[in-house]
Amino acid sequence: MDNTLLFSLSLAAGGGVLGGLWYLRSRIVRRVMRRRNAAYKLMDCLKAYSAWIDWHRDEPLLHQSPEDLTLPAALAQACQIKDEFLPELSGLMVKLLETHRELMQYFWEENILRMTQSALRPYYADPRYHHLRDLQDAALDSLFMRSRQLIGEDDLNWSRTRSDFSFSSGMGMSHPSTPG
C-alpha cells in the first residue's frame, strides 16, 4: 500500500473520530444546558408558588370550591419540569405537595371559621400557620438546594424563600453602617 494512501485513510479516520467526538460533546453540552435551564425555570416556578401562598394567606378562598381544588399553575408547572428534566427531585416534590395540601386544608378551615365567627386571630399570631409555613419553607429550601446541586452549583449560601417579612423578622435585617 502506498504511504500517501495510508496517511490519507488515517487522516480521514482520525477526522471521523474527532467529528464523532465533537458531535457527542455538543449533544452532552446541549442536554446539560437544557437541564440547567429547566432547573432555573423550576426555581422560578417555586418562587412564584411561594408568592401565591403568601397572597392566599390574606385572601379568602371564596373563588374556588373545595371539590374543584387544583394545584396552582406555578406548582403544576414545577411538577411538570421535575418530571421531564429532574426526576431526582421526586421525593422532595412529594414533601412539598403534602405541605401544600395541609396548608390548603388550613386555609379552608380558617375560611369556614371566618364565615361563622367575627373575630379570629390573624395568621401571623397563629402557631399552626407558622408550623405549616415552616414545613413548607423547609421543603422549598430543600428543593432549591438539591436543584442547585444537580446542575453543579453547590453554593451553600442559600437564603430562605419566605417573602413574608412578618414571619422572618427574627432573622434580622442588615442595615448599612453609618460613618462615624
Domain ranges (residues) in the chain? 19-160
The whole-number pLDDT of residue 147 equals 95
The whole-number pLDDT of residue 119 equals 63
Instruction: Report how far residue 99's alpha carbon sits from residue 134's, in angstroms, rounded to the nearest whole number.
Output: 10
Model pTM above 0.75: no
Instruction: Report how far residue 11's alpha carbon sits from residue 164's, in angstroms, rounded to the nearest whole number.
Output: 64
The whole-number pLDDT of residue 22 equals 82
**Residue 148 and residue 154 in contact, taking contact as beta carbons nearer than 8 Å:** yes
pLDDT in tens, the chain (180 residues): 688 888 888 888 888 888 888 878 788 878 889 999 999 999 999 999 999 888 877 666 656 666 666 789 999 999 999 999 999 999 999 999 999 999 988 888 887 887 787 666 777 778 998 999 999 999 999 999 999 999 988 765 545 555 444 443 333 333 334 444
Long-range contacts of 122-127 (CB under 8 A, 24+ apart): 123/57, 123/58, 124/166, 124/167
